Amino acid sequence: MVDESLIQSRRILGIDPGVNITGYGVLDQRANKLEIVEAGVIRGGKGEIPDKVMKIYDGVKDLIDSVNPDQMAIEKLYSHYAHPMTSIIMGHARGVICLVASQSDIPIYHYASTKIKKVLTGNGRASKEQMQASICREFNLPDPPEPNDVADALAIALCHAYLGKQY
C-alpha cells in the first residue's frame, strides 16, 4: 500500500487573459491524477481600460485568495501583424494578472498558444474544436466548457501539468 502523504500534489491555476473576459481553470494534480477544482471567467465589464483591468485585478485576487494555487500558468502574448492593438490591449490584462500572482508569491509559467496546442493535440496549429475535444477527453466531460475562454484556461493548466514544471 502506498503512503498517500508521500505522493506529491499541487494546485495549478491556468489563465487565458483578456480585458473583456479572462478565463480560468483550477486543477489539482496528485501523482498522475488530475481533477478540475473550479473553472469560469472574470469579466472586465464595460468602460475604459483602467476600469477593466481593475476588475480583472480584483477578480484574480479574489480567485487566488479562495483557491490558493501553488502555481500559475498563463498564455503568452501573440501579436499578429494585421492586429497589433490586440496584443497591446491583452498586455494590460496579462500585466495585472502577473502582478497579482507576484504579490501572492505564486510562481508564474508562460506558454505560447502553439506550445499548448502541441502538448495537448500533437499539432501546434490545432483548431478550437480539437482543443475542446482534448479537454473533454482528459476530464471525461460530455460537452466543452463554455465560453471558449474556460476551455482555453483549462488547456493552459493541463499543458503545465503535463510538462511537470516544478513538481
Q: How far apart are CA 57 and CA 53, in angstroms?
A: 6
Residues whose CB falls within 8 Å of the CB of residue 24, separated by 6 or more in sequence, listed in order: 13, 14, 15, 16, 38, 39, 40, 41, 42, 60, 63, 150, 153
Q: How far apart are CA 110 and CA 4, in angstroms?
A: 30
How many domains would you assign to the chain? 1
The residue-averaged pLDDT of 117-133 equals 94
Q: Residue 36: pLDDT band by 50, 70, 90 thresholds? A: very high
Domain that holds residue 41: 4-163
Residues 38, 67 contacting (CB under 8 angstroms): yes
Q: What per-residue confidence (pLDDT) applies to 86? A: 78
41 pLDDT exceeds 60?
A: yes
CB atoms within 10 A of CB 59: 21
Q: What per-residue confidence (pLDDT) applies to 79? A: 64
Residues 86, 27 contacting (CB under 8 angstroms): no
CATH number at residue 133: 3.30.420.10
State the catalytic residues. Answer: 16, 75, 149
Q: Is the pTM of this model over 0.85?
A: yes
